[in-house]
Structure 1
Amino acid sequence: MFGLFKKKTELEKLELQHKKLLEEAFKLSKTNRSASDQKQLEAQQVLDKIEALQNK
């Protein structure tokens, strides 16, 4: 309740986006492998941004 109006940090937003992309890639891996590979690539790019923020 106390964190109700707390804004998410850039790192938290990127972590959520990374998780979402990995879930989508997993779902697509069952039907469309090339689309799954594209989502994996996007997830890797987000992970690189996360690592860059953590190293600052």
Structure 2
Amino acid sequence: MFNLFKKKSEIEKLNDKYKKLLEESHKLSTTNRKESDSKYAEADEILRKIETLNKN
């Protein structure tokens, strides 16, 4: 209940965005392979950002 007003950290925001992009990539993989690859590339970039933030 007390987490209602807690702001998300940068890593949590990036994780949410990463998961969303992977889901979109998976959905597009059956209809539009080029768009699917594009979403996967965006998700990969975000994963790299998450890894660099975790190292620091």
4+ residue segments displaced more than 6 Å: none
Whole-Å Cα distance in 1 between the matches of residues 3 and 18 of structure 2? 23
State the Cα distance separating 1:5 from its structure 2 match.
Answer: 0.1
Alignment of 1:10-29 (within 5 A): 10-29=10-29
**Structure 1 spans left out of the alignment, 5+ residues:** none
Fraction of identical pairs, as percent: 59
Aligned to 2:37: 37
* SS of structure 1 residue aligned to 2:4: coil
Greater helix percent: which structure? Answer: 2
Corresponding pairs, count: 56
Aligned to 1:52: 52
TM-score of the aligned structures, taking structure 2 as reference length: 0.99
Structure 1, residues 7-55: CA drift from partner, whole Å, max 9, x if none?
Answer: 0000000000000000000000010000000000000000000000000
| Structure 2 counterpart of 1:43, one-letter code | A
**Structure 2 spans left out of the alignment, 5+ residues:** none
